[in-house]
Structures are given as structure tokens and as C-alpha cells.
Structure 1
């Protein structure tokens, strides 16, 4: 998937809220790109805009060479077979009045892929795939735990055998013990089915574990992109450094200086001039207020937008 200059603005009191501002990314087949940043920085908006659950303000997205934003309603429905999403809240994304069989089978009905016995078998197969029993098909969502519901959400996303899945914070509503199971499940499914993921999350240690590359966002802007290893060992952007300093290290002998950011995240309605992070950055210089930093490759395959480089 190739994402070029995607913007998504919302109107609030006749002012534009720049939820996503000039987002660019190329995701290779079979790759997992982690997207991190604090709440409200535009991660979920990116996920929903690139697959056109939200209509973009500007930009282009190409999936296997096809421009998603130019597709008619009928063609977009066809594309849904290849591009799916796993939602953040497993309690809100499953219809409480539908049985599991109908929730997982719904994509098959919409695309007329299976009926009757065939549909039953396919649903059983999908439930097996995500570690649930086919007997669960006749139950309702309230009879399951959060982790099980998220598995049902994943089964529904896999029903059409997609190639690309947006995982929109699929573990943030779950217990820590269950989070690892879901992440391991996603990794296994990726190996079995050759899936490509955009994995959106807060938890940097989980993102490091599942992602090949990690992209950091702040207030609707991209601030750093690199492979998982070098982003964790040598973060360039002051914001990434602060995020990583907050991740606990399970070794009491290792001392890491905690970088505490001053102040709050500015409002996206009135973002700071120049660099959006400058109001909370201890390295802020005069140029930071005047000029938006350019996105550049500082080391091999390690990009950042910061005037320090």
C-alpha cells in the first residue's frame, strides 16, 4: 500500500481540526508497520482514512496500484475483500443482538461467498483459526470475555481472506495477560496467510515485538520512521526519546533517565507554528517556531522531521 500526502481535517466551530496532516508511507507486502503516539494524535484517523471508512480531505492511497480514493461505491465494495480492519473496542464493535455465527458470517453474506452448510463450515473454520471452538457459533457476544470477543473480531476480518489489515489498537481494551495472546495470534496468522498489517497502538513494547518498522506520530504529523530495532536503540526525535523513556525495563540494574514532557498536548484546532512539538521540546530553537521541519533520511532508512538534524 502506498499512502501519499493524505490529510484529514474535521470542521469544528468553522475551524479546521487537522487530525492528519500530510501522511506518507509505503507498506510492503507481508510487512507489519507499527503506528504509535499518544491519545488523540491521529493514529486511528489514519487507519480509517487510508481504507476509506473516513473520506480524506486530500491525498492518494494506492493498494496494489489501484487508487482507493478514485473507486466507485461498487468497486470499493470489491476492494473490501482485500482490505479489512480490526476495531479497537471488542465490546462496541460486535452487534449484541447477533449470534457469533452471523457476525463472522456477515462478510460472506454481503459478498455472496457462501450459503447454508458451506457458510456454517466456513464460520467453524474461522473460529478454529482464531483459537475458538465452533460450538461458540450459537452464542451472543455478551457470553464472551474481552479477549474472546477480539478473536471474534479478527475472525470476521479474516472471513474474506484479505491481504491487508488495519489493526486499530486491537489490544488496548484488553488485560495485559490477554494482550500477548492476541499479538501472538496476529503474528501466527500473518505467517500462515501472508498478511500485511498496519498495527496501531500505544504500547511501545508490544509494537516493538510485532512490527518490522515503526512510525511515530504527534498531533497529526509524522515525526519519525525507522526499523523497529534502531528506533528502540537510537531514537532521533525528542518526542520518540520521551516516549521510549517511559517504557519500563525489566532489569533493576539498568538506569534510564526518564524524560518528562512539560505541559499538555496543544489543541489540533490551534496547533503551534513551525514544529508542532516545539512547545514541549527542551531542544526548541528559534527556527522551530518559524519553519516546519522537513521530513528527511538522517541515517540509512531512518527518517525524522526535526531541526536538530
Structure 2
């Protein structure tokens, strides 16, 4: 088997809550709890789940934009969690991110030319003229032109800003990209262009991608494997065709039943979840999904269900559906 490019083991990220006059830690927001998975070279893995499930935190922690509370992340066999700031800089070139918010992720005081060329200057790639040529080529790939080089971010629409962010992430030709909702701010027609662009780049350059999204249709089309998260835990993962054709976990079934179907003949039985997602400060005991699960009983409150195989490469964390 091909060795994984990225191997995540027992990753957790908790954010402390401070209170009182002395600002002591009074509670923890358990954003990510005991998450483990692997990504092979050239693979596109999708991460789906409701808002507040911990998807963005996982992506940021993989790149050490957030420091993990516990666990390890091995990139190319190296545990990057143990690297110093100086040692980590070399890995920044190999690992990049496309941020979710195109309004907050760009420096409002820099022109597009400076924004996209900044990674090239930071890593000392090429001469100044080479960098400009590279910036122009990147802008053309994401649907912008040379006339946009001297403009500031406030002069663009949200979709155009996101394309600038994508160009910046691709500037240093990374091996691995975390794409955090990269098309959520774009019009539908532009979404298709950007997804096709990312797909072509993955094939042409051998990119490996961790694709965070809400659009289950895009994930089905674009991703080789899918990970489903709920309240900081992985509840199911497997190949895209298995997840979409044979979802095992009740939460996965609910997500897929809520997704619009372009072909009415494929419509699934609607699963309506009751209540809201619980607070990550005090998640439910046992299975975190049990407070909204139609199959839950007393056993679900006592047992934290492990991810176990329900098919070839298909894992699910539910003791009621195996």
C-alpha cells in the first residue's frame, strides 16, 4: 500500500474559557475530540458536517494554524507537531490553505500583485520579474486578468476575493492543500469553474487535498473519500461511492436526505432531526449524536462507539446499525 502523505492520530483541540477576576480556566470548548484518519498522496478527502461540528478547526490544526491539545499529525512521515517554528517554515511551502472567508483572509492594504506574490517572496522563489509572471499566470487560471493586479481587495466581489485566495494558496506549488469551503462564496457558474480548476490541478500537479464543504453534491463529485463529523468526532468515513450509496450512521443518512437531488428518482426518505446541535462545552456522554438520533437508547448514553468496519474501507461509529 502507498504510504499516507498525511496521518492524523487521536487529534484533539480544546479551547479554554476563562472567567472570574483571576481569569482562570473555567471550562473547555471541545471543538475536536480524538480524530484519526489518513490521506494518501494525490487523494482528495472531503470533510462534511453541520456548522459547529469542528471541520474548520480540524483543517487549521492540521497546518498548525491552531496548536493541537493532543494527538499527532505526520506529514510525509514527520510529526509536524514536534517541529520548532524555524523547522515548520519549510513545511509551510508544502502545505497551504484556502480560507473560508474571502473578506477576512486578504490584507486590505495590499494590492492583488502583493497578496499573491507574498508567499513567493517569503520563500525566496524567483526574481521579482519571475514572480510577477507567476502571479499573472495564477490569476488567469482562477478567472482574473492583468487588469486586476493593481487593485485592492475592497474593489472585488466576494467571489473574486476567493479566487485571489486560491491563487495565493497555489503560488508556491504545494503538495497538500486544506480547502476550507473554497466555493461557498461563489456564484453557481463560478463554483463549477473553480471546482474544475481544482480538479485539474490535483490531476496535473499530483496535489493532495483536504476539502471541507457543506455542499454534499460537490463532495460526491470531487472527493475520493468522505469523512463525516458531528460535534468534534468522526461518525463515518469511507469511499464516496460507499458513503452516498450505503450510508450507515444515522447522522450521515440525515445529512444526505436533506441534500437537494437533481434527479427526483434518487430522492431518499427524509430524515428530520429534532433539536439543535449540543454545546461543545458539555457534549453528551456516550455517543455525541444520541440526543438527536431516532435509534438512541440507554446503551448509547453509556458507550462511546468506536469507528468499526461496515465494509471495505468503510467505517462507522454506531452500535445500532452494524
Is 1:81 aligned to residue 93 of structure 2? yes
Is 1:225 aligned to residue 231 of structure 2? no
Identify the match of residue 14 of structure 2 among 4, 9, 16.
9
Measured in 1, the distance between the counterparts of 2:70 and 2:128 equals 43
Per mean C-alpha deviation after superposition, the further-off stretch among 117-126 and 72-81 is 117-126
Shift of 1:253: 4.9
Measured in 1, the distance between the counterparts of 2:197 and 2:103 equals 19
Judged with a 3 Å threshold, the aligned counterparts in structure 2 of structure 1 residues 95 and 255 are, in CA distance, closer, same or farther, namely closer
- Which residue number in structure 2 is paired with residue 43 of structure 1? 55
- Which residue number in structure 2 is paired with residue 212 of structure 1? 224
Identify the match of residue 308 of structure 2 among 283, 293, 296.
296
Stretches of structure 1 that go unaligned for 5 or more consecutive residues are none
Q: What is the TM-score when the length of structure 1 is the normalising length?
A: 0.97
Q: Deviations over 1:159-201 (max 9, x none)?
A: 1110000001112222333222221111111112110000001
Where in structure 2 are the equivalents of 1:58-207 lying within 5 Å?
58-207=70-219
Judged with a 3 Å threshold, the aligned counterparts in structure 2 of structure 1 residues 110 and 37 are, in CA distance, closer, same or farther, namely same
Measured in 1, the distance between the counterparts of 2:64 and 2:229 equals 20
Shift of 1:284: 0.5
3-state secondary structure, aligned to 2:104: coil
Shift of 1:149: 1.7
Stretches of structure 2 that go unaligned for 5 or more consecutive residues are 1-5, 19-25
Is 1:282 aligned to residue 294 of structure 2? yes
Per mean C-alpha deviation after superposition, the further-off stretch among 135-144 and 28-37 is 135-144
2:96 touches 2:174 (CA, 8 Å); kept in 1?
Answer: yes
Measured in 2, the distance between the counterparts of 1:158 and 1:62 equals 22
**How many correspondences in the alignment?**
309
Measured in 2, the distance between the counterparts of 1:72 and 1:154 equals 27
1:147 touches 1:182 (CA, 8 Å); kept in 2?
Answer: no
Identify the match of residue 69 of structure 2 among 57, 61, 84.
57
Shift of 1:128: 2.4
3-state secondary structure, aligned to 1:9: strand
Q: CA RMSD in A?
A: 1.3
Measured in 2, the distance between the counterparts of 1:250 and 1:158 equals 32
Q: What is the TM-score when the length of structure 2 is the normalising length?
A: 0.93
- Which residue number in structure 1 is paired with residue 281 of structure 2? 269
